[in-house]
Amino acid sequence: MMIRATEAAIDLGAIRHNLGVVRRAAPGQKVCAVVKANAYGHGLVEVSRALEAYGADWLAVALVEEGVLLREAGVRAPILVLGGAVNRGFAEMVEHTLVPVLFDVDQIPRLAAAAGGRRIAFHLKIDSGMYRLGVLPAELASFLAALAKYPNLDLDGLCTHFARADTTQDRGSVAEQLACFKAAHAQLLRAGHTPHLLHVANSSATLLESAAHVGMVRPGLVLYGLDPRGPEHARDLRPAMRWTTRPVRICDVPAGGRVSYGGHWTAARPSRIATLPVGYADGYVRALSGKAQVLVRGRRAPVVGTICMDLCMIDVTDISGVSLADEVVLMGAQGSQEIPAYELARWADTIPYEITCGVSDRVPRRHTSEAEAQE
């Protein structure tokens, strides 16, 4: 049910286009499409179904719950659980044929117990220098010794994650992490393990680092039309999300009138103020207060006053004829103008990942196929 006019329109054709960009950047590589965090805010089930139809070889989630949801929705593609499980979740991964990523020796007996003698494949994550998740190189021998007690567990994949692949200022760290990964792979081979899937490349490394194309790539943000390095690198990509709303009230504020909580914005002249039904509970964060702009009738209008939980206000004094029927674009294009996620991120002092992931479940997603977009 959709009553409020606020929505996020998701262009599945754009996602298909961006998948094509990935394939051209990494020819011959399998593609593991990262759909964690509600597909970076774009809708987990709908986007995963589309990516499966578009030929993604694997899907990757962060949580067991995300993988279970996809299986219950009928998604049949191989699903990698990047966050694995610690104390709970192993039985659910086995039941729903999810492939766990193991990053600690204590996970081995728990996965084996859940498997109940069945042969279960997993991927091993090496901590090559990010110090977040993964088996450290010094711990690898102990991990393999523990694994030897459970012949039904199949070390089928090896992976790591780059800490600084999205910066052009520190290419050496990528080379160091890649060397660490290759050393771990060699150690596995010497121990008799032959993982058939190797993957290290996130979005930036997929586009930048051919040396990181070791069998499979794991694009995330780039699939949704955003390059982690910034907008100047995203010219071949198509943003998939367009976030819009419509005013619920337009009023005249006299000079000296103070708008919203705290009265932090004062009208310097007689002003026309439109109230929008979107606020920080929707992911339009308070940090945007007094900084962000929106698009109305193809022109930019500033957000004024403090953003509220459910509402925010914009100054439309200089845009004639604005009515309750007018579309207001919070993120995306309107006419020749655009408010990209990068710009929202700059205003909020954050990254575009947080902008799209932060669009809350209160905002309905409307997914359009390529055919629908052309109608």
Look-up of token digits 């997914």: 367
Determine phi and psi for 266, rounding to 5 degrees.
Answer: -115, 130
CB-based contacts of 77: which residues, under 8 Å, 6+ apart? 48, 51, 52, 56, 57, 58, 59
CB-based contacts of 350: which residues, under 8 Å, 6+ apart? 287
Q: Identify the pLDDT of residue 374.
A: 43
Pick left, alpha or beta for residue 21 (phi over 0 → left; psi -120 to 50 → alpha; otherwise beta). Answer: alpha
Question: Is the predicted pLDDT of residue 375 greater than 60, yes or no?
Answer: no
Q: Identify the pLDDT of residue 230.
A: 87
Structure confidence by residue, pLDDT tens digits, 14-43:
999 999 999 999 999 999 999 999 999 999
> Which of these, 275, 276, 272, 274, lies nearest to 318 by C-alpha position?
272
Question: Is the predicted pLDDT of residue 373 greater than 80, yes or no?
Answer: no
CB 252 within 8 A of CB 280: no
Q: Identify the pLDDT of residue 3.
A: 87
The beta strand positions in the chain, using DSSP E, are: 7-11, 30-34, 58-61, 79-81, 99-102, 120-125, 153-159, 197-201, 216-217, 241-245, 249-253, 258-259, 265-266, 271-276, 293-296, 299-304, 312-315, 328-334, 337-339, 365-368
DSSP structure class, residue 304: E
Structure confidence by residue, pLDDT tens digits, 55-97:
999 999 999 999 999 999 999 999 999 998 888 999 999 999 9
Q: Identify the pLDDT of residue 169.
A: 56
Structure confidence by residue, pLDDT tens digits, 215-254:
999 999 999 999 998 888 888 999 999 999 999 999 999 9
CB 86 within 8 A of CB 100: no
Amino acid identity, position 291: K
Structure confidence by residue, pLDDT tens digits, 297-337:
999 999 999 999 999 999 999 999 999 999 999 999 999 99
Percent of the chain's residues with pLDDT above 70: 97
Domains of the chain: residue spans and CATH: 12-227 (3.20.20.10), 241-374 (2.40.37.10)
Structure confidence by residue, pLDDT tens digits, 112-168:
999 999 999 999 999 999 999 999 999 999 999 999 999 999 999 999 999 877 765
3-class secondary structure, 58: strand
- How large is the greatest C-alpha to C-alpha distance in the chain, in angstroms? 78
Q: How far apart are CA 200 and CA 333, in angstroms?
A: 34
Single pTM value for the model: 0.94
Structure confidence by residue, pLDDT tens digits, 171-193:
678 999 999 999 999 999 999 99
CB 16 within 8 A of CB 42: no
Question: Looking at the annotation, which residues are catalytic?
Answer: 36, 261
Residue 372: pLDDT band with limits 50, 70, 90: low
